[in-house]
Amino acid sequence: MQYAEGIAGAEYFAAALRQLERMLSLRSKDIELSRQIGDVKKKLDDIDIERTSLEKFREEADFSHYIDLLYQAMEDGYSIIITSMDTPCGSRKFTSELGEKLQRIGLEVNLSDKWRASYCAVIDCGVKVDEKISGTHSVSIALKLGNAEVLVKSAGMQKADSSRMCSVLINGRECAVRRRGISIVIYDKERDAVIDSVNSDTFSEEMIVLRSGMLPALKEFIESLPGVTFINVSYPSFPKKDLSMNEKWIIGEKIHYSTSYQNPMLPSPLTLYIREPSGILEMLRPPILILGQMEPDILRIRMESI
């Protein structure tokens, strides 16, 4: 009886050993598989993925061509942050077709006819995270991109809760080129780096892509006057007293610059001669006074447009 029990115990012990052996074998295979996966990940991390060069982004000055670069930015895994100030449209060059081209990065709104709207959107790695638009109020988007806290704001002209503005704050740092039109920030969340930040005045006929710093025309003008230190740039105000007959007529017909700027769609006698509101504003734009200093005298220079 004891012999039989001993045999049964030995068989049980042998079966347990075989089970343990199988478990150790599987564990060994898991360890080897994990090691192989780790090797593959390391090799992938070591691969230098060829991305669009920073110079290619930062040298482009055409709005339509810049939209083409946004497609490449998505393929490179970057985030695209869009906001607008004053108005996202108004130029004859900002056609519905161009608006559709911008939509193809993943947007729902065609901005080509969204006059004076507040608008902002965020695309991350080719996927739309959020998109907001309002004709009456400002809009904002708050989110995280990687480890960064991002706050995007937009306000069109004469909104109920805000004056016209735009902003892209990344970890509290302003990254947007805050000018009229559409502003775009391309952001690398993996490296916490702004790849490019631009603005295109989609109300103007030029619709060129600008970056932070001095306007190109003003920079060119200043560089043409060596020895002059420029102190201030200001617009002259429209006279309010001792008006001439022409000035009274301008005010009476409501065709002076400030009125047309506040509401470019306001009927005006000038529409008989200039079809587009942007053309009327361009014609009415006041001259700019540049106040500069040339030793030992003060130099005042009048410019017709910048």
SS3 58: helix
Give the model confidence (pLDDT) of 13-43 as tens digits.
566 656 766 766 656 666 665 666 666 556 5
CB 85 within 8 A of CB 159: no
- Give the whole-angstrom CA distance, residue 80 versus residue 62: 18
Please give the pLDDT value at position 3.
Answer: 45
Helix pair angle (96-103, 63-75), 10° resolution:
10
Kindly report the three-state secondary structure assignment for every residue of 30-49.
Answer: HHHHHHHHHHHHHHHHHCCC
- Give the whole-angstrom CA distance, residue 208 versus residue 63: 6
Residues of the chain scoring pLDDT < 70: 1-18, 20-21, 23-50, 214-218, 229-239, 253-267, 280-306
- Give the whole-angstrom CA distance, residue 15 versus residue 9: 10
- Give the whole-angstrom CA distance, residue 151 versus residue 91: 28
- Give the whole-angstrom CA distance, residue 56 versus residue 77: 16
Give the model confidence (pLDDT) of 226-261 as tens digits.
777 665 555 556 667 787 787 777 777 666 665 665
